[in-house]
Amino acid sequence: MEILHAIILGIVQGLTEFLPVSSSGHLEIVKCILSDENIGKQSMLMTVVLHAATALSTIYIFWEDIVKIIKGLFSGEKSDVYFSLKIILSMIPAVIMGLVWEETIESFFDCNLSFVGTMLIITALLLYFADKSKSTDKQVSFFHSIIIGISQAIAILPGISRSGATISTSVLLGVDKEKSARFSFLMVVPLILGKMFKDIFSADLCLTSNESLPLLFGFISAFMIGIMACKLMIKIVKNSKLKYFSFYCVFVGVSIILYSNIYA
Protein backbone atom coordinates (compact mmCIF):
# COMPACT_ATOMS: atom_id res chain seq x y z
CA MET A 1 0.00 0.00 0.00
CA GLU A 2 1.31 3.41 -0.92
CA ILE A 3 1.87 6.04 1.77
CA LEU A 4 -0.56 8.42 0.04
CA HIS A 5 -3.28 5.77 0.08
CA ALA A 6 -2.62 5.12 3.76
CA ILE A 7 -2.89 8.83 4.56
CA ILE A 8 -6.15 9.05 2.61
CA LEU A 9 -7.58 6.06 4.50
CA GLY A 10 -6.41 7.62 7.79
CA ILE A 11 -8.13 10.91 7.00
CA VAL A 12 -11.31 9.10 5.97
CA GLN A 13 -11.27 7.00 9.16
CA GLY A 14 -10.51 10.00 11.41
CA LEU A 15 -13.34 12.07 9.94
CA THR A 16 -16.00 9.41 9.52
CA GLU A 17 -15.47 7.62 12.86
CA PHE A 18 -16.87 10.70 14.61
CA LEU A 19 -18.84 12.56 11.97
CA PRO A 20 -22.17 10.79 11.32
CA VAL A 21 -21.42 9.54 7.81
CA SER A 22 -20.22 5.93 8.42
CA SER A 23 -16.49 5.24 8.63
CA SER A 24 -16.90 1.62 7.50
CA GLY A 25 -19.00 2.68 4.53
CA HIS A 26 -16.54 5.35 3.42
CA LEU A 27 -13.55 3.05 3.85
CA GLU A 28 -15.29 0.49 1.65
CA ILE A 29 -15.95 3.16 -0.97
CA VAL A 30 -12.34 4.40 -0.91
CA LYS A 31 -10.90 0.88 -1.09
CA CYS A 32 -13.09 0.00 -4.07
CA ILE A 33 -12.38 3.23 -5.94
CA LEU A 34 -8.61 3.14 -5.30
CA SER A 35 -8.53 -0.46 -6.54
CA ASP A 36 -5.07 -1.02 -5.04
CA GLU A 37 -4.39 -4.78 -5.20
CA ASN A 38 -2.41 -4.55 -1.96
CA ILE A 39 -5.26 -2.95 -0.03
CA GLY A 40 -7.13 -6.24 0.15
CA LYS A 41 -4.09 -8.06 1.52
CA GLN A 42 -3.31 -5.39 4.08
CA SER A 43 -6.92 -4.44 4.79
CA MET A 44 -7.19 -6.20 8.15
CA LEU A 45 -3.89 -4.84 9.48
CA MET A 46 -4.67 -1.30 8.27
CA THR A 47 -8.18 -1.53 9.77
CA VAL A 48 -6.73 -2.51 13.15
CA VAL A 49 -4.21 0.37 13.04
CA LEU A 50 -6.78 2.98 11.98
CA HIS A 51 -9.26 1.90 14.65
CA ALA A 52 -6.49 2.01 17.24
CA ALA A 53 -5.77 5.60 16.18
CA THR A 54 -9.39 6.74 16.49
CA ALA A 55 -9.76 4.89 19.80
CA LEU A 56 -6.71 6.75 21.08
CA SER A 57 -8.10 10.09 19.89
CA THR A 58 -11.34 9.36 21.76
CA ILE A 59 -9.37 8.52 24.91
CA TYR A 60 -7.42 11.76 24.49
CA ILE A 61 -10.60 13.88 24.27
CA PHE A 62 -12.57 12.07 26.99
CA TRP A 63 -9.74 11.14 29.33
CA GLU A 64 -11.47 12.52 32.45
CA ASP A 65 -14.78 10.82 31.58
CA ILE A 66 -13.04 7.48 31.00
CA VAL A 67 -11.23 7.71 34.34
CA LYS A 68 -14.60 8.48 35.94
CA ILE A 69 -16.15 5.39 34.35
CA ILE A 70 -13.34 3.15 35.61
CA LYS A 71 -13.45 4.68 39.10
CA GLY A 72 -17.23 4.40 39.06
CA LEU A 73 -17.02 0.61 39.12
CA PHE A 74 -15.14 0.72 42.43
CA SER A 75 -16.06 4.05 44.02
CA GLY A 76 -19.41 3.10 45.50
CA GLU A 77 -20.85 6.46 44.40
CA LYS A 78 -24.28 5.58 43.05
CA SER A 79 -24.24 8.03 40.12
CA ASP A 80 -20.74 6.95 38.99
CA VAL A 81 -21.54 3.25 39.33
CA TYR A 82 -24.77 3.69 37.36
CA PHE A 83 -23.01 5.53 34.55
CA SER A 84 -20.38 2.78 34.30
CA LEU A 85 -23.08 0.11 34.22
CA LYS A 86 -24.91 1.99 31.45
CA ILE A 87 -21.75 1.97 29.34
CA ILE A 88 -21.38 -1.79 29.90
CA LEU A 89 -25.05 -2.40 29.08
CA SER A 90 -24.75 -0.46 25.81
CA MET A 91 -21.92 -2.74 24.67
CA ILE A 92 -23.81 -6.04 25.03
CA PRO A 93 -25.88 -5.99 21.77
CA ALA A 94 -22.83 -5.23 19.61
CA VAL A 95 -20.77 -7.94 21.33
CA ILE A 96 -23.53 -10.51 20.75
CA MET A 97 -23.94 -9.52 17.10
CA GLY A 98 -20.19 -9.57 16.51
CA LEU A 99 -19.77 -13.03 18.01
CA VAL A 100 -22.88 -14.71 16.58
CA TRP A 101 -23.05 -13.18 13.10
CA GLU A 102 -19.37 -12.40 12.46
CA GLU A 103 -19.12 -14.29 9.14
CA THR A 104 -22.40 -12.85 7.84
CA ILE A 105 -21.28 -9.32 8.72
CA GLU A 106 -17.91 -9.80 7.00
CA SER A 107 -19.71 -10.75 3.78
CA PHE A 108 -21.02 -7.19 3.51
CA PHE A 109 -17.44 -5.85 3.41
CA ASP A 110 -16.69 -6.93 -0.15
CA CYS A 111 -17.09 -3.80 -2.31
CA ASN A 112 -20.89 -4.11 -2.25
CA LEU A 113 -21.38 -0.42 -3.06
CA SER A 114 -25.13 -0.67 -3.69
CA PHE A 115 -25.63 -1.99 -0.18
CA VAL A 116 -23.36 0.72 1.29
CA GLY A 117 -25.29 3.40 -0.60
CA THR A 118 -28.64 2.10 0.68
CA MET A 119 -27.39 2.07 4.26
CA LEU A 120 -26.10 5.65 3.88
CA ILE A 121 -29.60 6.74 2.87
CA ILE A 122 -31.00 5.06 6.00
CA THR A 123 -28.38 6.94 8.04
CA ALA A 124 -29.55 10.17 6.38
CA LEU A 125 -33.13 9.56 7.50
CA LEU A 126 -32.05 8.94 11.10
CA LEU A 127 -30.00 12.15 11.16
CA TYR A 128 -32.78 14.23 9.64
CA PHE A 129 -35.42 13.17 12.16
CA ALA A 130 -33.00 13.48 15.08
CA ASP A 131 -32.13 17.02 14.02
CA LYS A 132 -35.80 17.97 14.23
CA SER A 133 -36.10 16.74 17.83
CA LYS A 134 -36.47 19.30 20.58
CA SER A 135 -33.61 19.84 23.03
CA THR A 136 -34.11 18.43 26.53
CA ASP A 137 -32.09 17.98 29.72
CA LYS A 138 -32.73 14.22 30.09
CA GLN A 139 -29.97 11.86 31.19
CA VAL A 140 -29.27 8.46 29.61
CA SER A 141 -31.25 5.80 31.50
CA PHE A 142 -30.63 2.04 31.71
CA PHE A 143 -33.42 1.47 29.17
CA HIS A 144 -31.89 4.09 26.88
CA SER A 145 -28.52 2.34 27.15
CA ILE A 146 -29.93 -0.94 25.81
CA ILE A 147 -31.79 0.73 22.93
CA ILE A 148 -28.73 2.83 22.00
CA GLY A 149 -26.65 -0.34 22.22
CA ILE A 150 -28.95 -2.07 19.72
CA SER A 151 -28.45 0.88 17.37
CA GLN A 152 -24.71 0.49 17.76
CA ALA A 153 -24.97 -3.21 16.94
CA ILE A 154 -26.91 -2.50 13.73
CA ALA A 155 -24.31 0.13 12.82
CA ILE A 156 -21.74 -2.65 12.35
CA LEU A 157 -23.11 -2.77 8.79
CA PRO A 158 -21.11 -0.63 6.33
CA GLY A 159 -23.00 2.56 5.51
CA ILE A 160 -24.84 2.82 8.83
CA SER A 161 -23.01 5.48 10.81
CA ARG A 162 -22.25 4.29 14.33
CA SER A 163 -22.14 7.79 15.79
CA GLY A 164 -25.10 8.84 13.64
CA ALA A 165 -27.21 5.85 14.69
CA THR A 166 -26.39 6.03 18.40
CA ILE A 167 -26.66 9.82 18.70
CA SER A 168 -29.87 9.92 16.65
CA THR A 169 -31.43 7.10 18.69
CA SER A 170 -30.45 8.81 21.93
CA VAL A 171 -31.82 12.19 20.81
CA LEU A 172 -35.06 10.61 19.54
CA LEU A 173 -35.45 8.99 22.97
CA GLY A 174 -35.39 12.51 24.43
CA VAL A 175 -31.86 12.58 25.85
CA ASP A 176 -29.99 15.91 25.95
CA LYS A 177 -28.10 16.37 22.66
CA GLU A 178 -24.67 17.06 24.13
CA LYS A 179 -25.01 14.16 26.58
CA SER A 180 -26.07 11.96 23.66
CA ALA A 181 -22.88 12.77 21.75
CA ARG A 182 -20.60 12.20 24.75
CA PHE A 183 -22.27 8.90 25.64
CA SER A 184 -22.05 7.78 21.99
CA PHE A 185 -18.30 8.35 21.84
CA LEU A 186 -17.57 6.88 25.27
CA MET A 187 -19.57 3.68 24.71
CA VAL A 188 -17.54 2.72 21.64
CA VAL A 189 -14.05 2.89 23.20
CA PRO A 190 -14.21 -0.55 24.92
CA LEU A 191 -15.66 -2.11 21.77
CA ILE A 192 -12.99 -0.67 19.49
CA LEU A 193 -10.22 -1.81 21.82
CA GLY A 194 -11.81 -5.24 22.25
CA LYS A 195 -12.24 -5.73 18.49
CA MET A 196 -8.69 -4.51 17.92
CA PHE A 197 -7.18 -7.05 20.32
CA LYS A 198 -9.42 -9.81 18.93
CA ASP A 199 -8.20 -9.11 15.38
CA ILE A 200 -4.58 -9.02 16.54
CA PHE A 201 -4.76 -12.40 18.29
CA SER A 202 -7.11 -14.21 15.91
CA ALA A 203 -5.79 -13.03 12.53
CA ASP A 204 -2.51 -13.69 10.80
CA LEU A 205 -1.20 -10.13 10.88
CA CYS A 206 2.35 -9.97 9.55
CA LEU A 207 4.16 -6.66 9.39
CA THR A 208 6.88 -6.17 6.80
CA SER A 209 9.32 -3.29 6.46
CA ASN A 210 7.47 -2.11 3.34
CA GLU A 211 4.22 -1.80 5.32
CA SER A 212 5.53 -0.01 8.40
CA LEU A 213 5.69 3.52 6.92
CA PRO A 214 2.19 3.45 5.35
CA LEU A 215 0.78 2.12 8.63
CA LEU A 216 2.55 4.86 10.60
CA PHE A 217 1.28 7.63 8.32
CA GLY A 218 -2.20 6.12 8.35
CA PHE A 219 -2.18 6.01 12.15
CA ILE A 220 -0.96 9.62 12.53
CA SER A 221 -3.48 11.03 10.05
CA ALA A 222 -6.39 9.11 11.64
CA PHE A 223 -5.36 10.19 15.16
CA MET A 224 -4.94 13.91 14.36
CA ILE A 225 -8.05 14.18 12.20
CA GLY A 226 -9.99 12.12 14.77
CA ILE A 227 -9.26 14.63 17.55
CA MET A 228 -10.52 17.53 15.43
CA ALA A 229 -13.58 15.63 14.20
CA CYS A 230 -14.56 14.51 17.70
CA LYS A 231 -14.52 18.08 19.07
CA LEU A 232 -16.39 19.33 16.02
CA MET A 233 -19.08 16.66 16.29
CA ILE A 234 -20.01 17.60 19.86
CA LYS A 235 -20.59 21.21 18.74
CA ILE A 236 -22.57 20.07 15.68
CA VAL A 237 -24.98 17.92 17.70
CA LYS A 238 -25.40 20.61 20.37
CA ASN A 239 -26.25 23.23 17.71
CA SER A 240 -28.66 20.96 15.79
CA LYS A 241 -26.70 20.78 12.55
CA LEU A 242 -27.16 17.07 11.81
CA LYS A 243 -29.44 17.77 8.84
CA TYR A 244 -26.45 18.89 6.76
CA PHE A 245 -24.86 15.47 7.22
CA SER A 246 -28.22 13.95 6.30
CA PHE A 247 -28.09 15.75 2.94
CA TYR A 248 -24.48 14.62 2.47
CA CYS A 249 -25.33 10.96 3.17
CA VAL A 250 -28.20 11.06 0.66
CA PHE A 251 -25.90 12.55 -1.99
CA VAL A 252 -23.12 10.01 -1.42
CA GLY A 253 -25.56 7.10 -1.09
CA VAL A 254 -27.37 7.86 -4.34
CA SER A 255 -24.08 8.60 -6.15
CA ILE A 256 -22.52 5.31 -5.05
CA ILE A 257 -25.60 3.30 -6.03
CA LEU A 258 -25.53 4.90 -9.52
CA TYR A 259 -21.74 4.36 -9.76
CA SER A 260 -22.01 0.68 -8.84
CA ASN A 261 -24.81 0.09 -11.36
CA ILE A 262 -23.00 1.90 -14.17
CA TYR A 263 -19.53 0.39 -13.61
CA ALA A 264 -20.59 -3.02 -12.28
Each residue's pLDDT, cut to its tens digit, for the chain (264 residues) gives 578 888 988 898 888 888 888 878 887 887 777 665 455 445 667 777 888 898 889 889 888 888 877 776 676 677 778 888 898 899 899 888 877 877 777 777 777 889 999 999 999 999 999 888 877 778 889 999 999 999 999 988 888 998 899 999 999 999 988 888 889 888 887 777 776 676 666 655 555 556 688 889 999 999 999 999 988 988 888 887 888 999 999 999 999 999 888 875
The whole-number pLDDT of residue 71 equals 74
Instruction: Let me know the angle formed at the C-alpha of 49 by 146 and 167, rounded to the nearest 5 degrees.
Output: 30
Instruction: Specify whether the CB–CB gap between 65 and 179 falls below 8 A.
Output: no
Question: What per-residue confidence (pLDDT) applies to 224?
Answer: 95
Which of these, 87, 109, 123, 89, lies nearest to 32 by C-alpha position?
Answer: 109
